[in-house]
Homo-oligomer: A and B are copies of this chain.
Amino acid sequence: MPVIAVDAMGGDHGPSVTVPAALAFLESVEAARIVLVGNGEAIAAELAKLRRQDVRERVTVRAASEVVAMNEPPADALRRKKDSSMRVAVNLVKEGEADACVSAGNTGALMAIARFVLKTLPGIDRPAIASQLPTRFGDTLVLDLGANVNCTAEQLVQFAAMGSALVASIDGIERPTVGLLNIGEEDIKGNDVVKEAAELLKASSLNFVGNVEGDDIYKGTSDVVVCDGFVGNVLLKTSEGLAQMLFEFLKAEFTRNLFTRFAAAVVYPVLMAFRSRIDPRRYNGATLVGLKGVVVKSHGGADVLAFTNALRRAYTEVEHGVLDRISQRIAEMHAVAPGGNGDGTGPLRAHA
């Protein structure tokens, strides 16, 4: 039975969100266990508010005396807080006591700790942050969303391989299409790193469909979109900001006067259906991909529903054996990559 370690103290709301979400998750998934990591008293207080004795049997509490602050420098969190709820949750994965861990805490700290404790998979230089975004036709997995501000062409190819394996294993798509984010479809466009990555991807065994542009993401042009972490972070936050502005403008128009308020009441179910279709809570749970362990990052401001989805994401990755799938895909790429000779010295060289 898969065990998920939860950093119960992480995020803006801590145990008041993580504990009810853990129980809600266990109610919907019968074959799973949860270890809540953090301040025992705070966790017990939240557990006491909830009935459901049946799912309580599948919950364990593991004490951790420290908490990583949301704005704490990752290096400090890594070096000084050896007993933080985040660190202990990641340790449980390392020690085999849990199959995955989920945290809504500080992203940089989670990445630093996970990388230090779990290490990267063979053939992967650096882990990336991957998340699914809604598109006109299904979802698209985009990576990297902010872990790596400077990427080499080889790293972009590794992201492509990991993203492809993730989508293949979770969505059951045999050969997911991979697009390289660029500023034009033509080969001559873009900077040197992107041009080189395109050449490597063409020569790889991945189902590379070429360059895609910003608007292709929401058109659902490819199953996977690859970019460096600076660009990925900007596009993710720009999207969040634009969606929020549009909702506010829509709300402003519907609350302008008596007539529009009446109109809003008439169309309320329609507006709610629209909103639920792109509810960011449905997409909560970004994967820290490329590590020797399943680590899922929830949005810091996640509510119970959103955090439950992040737990579900971690569970699904464990159930589908994504780690094996990624390792397998990377090994295949080494076998066929130009200049790759399987000893880790080719373009997809192993992490030193």
Contact = CB atoms under 8 A, between A and B. Distances in A.
Interface of A: 71, 73, 134-136, 146, 149-150, 181, 183, 186, 188-192, 213-219, 227, 229-231, 233-246, 248-250, 253-254, 256, 260, 263-264, 266-267, 270-271, 273-274, 277-278
A212 to B, nearest CB: 10
Given A213-B233, A214-B239, A215-B240, 18 more contacts: A71-B186, A136-B245, A136-B248, A149-B191, A214-B236, A214-B240, A215-B238, A215-B244, A217-B238, A218-B238, A218-B244, A242-B242, A253-B271, A256-B270, A263-B267, A264-B267, A264-B270, A267-B267
Given A181-B234, A260-B270, A242 B239 contact: yes
A108 to B, nearest CB: 9
B245 A274 contact: no
29 contacts: A73-B188, A135-B245, A146-B183, A149-B183, A149-B190, A149-B191, A183-B229, A183-B237, A213-B237, A214-B234, A215-B244, A216-B241, A217-B238, A217-B241, A218-B245, A219-B241, A219-B245, A227-B234, A231-B231, A235-B235, A249-B278, A253-B273, A254-B267, A263-B267, A263-B270, A264-B267, A264-B270, A266-B267, A267-B267
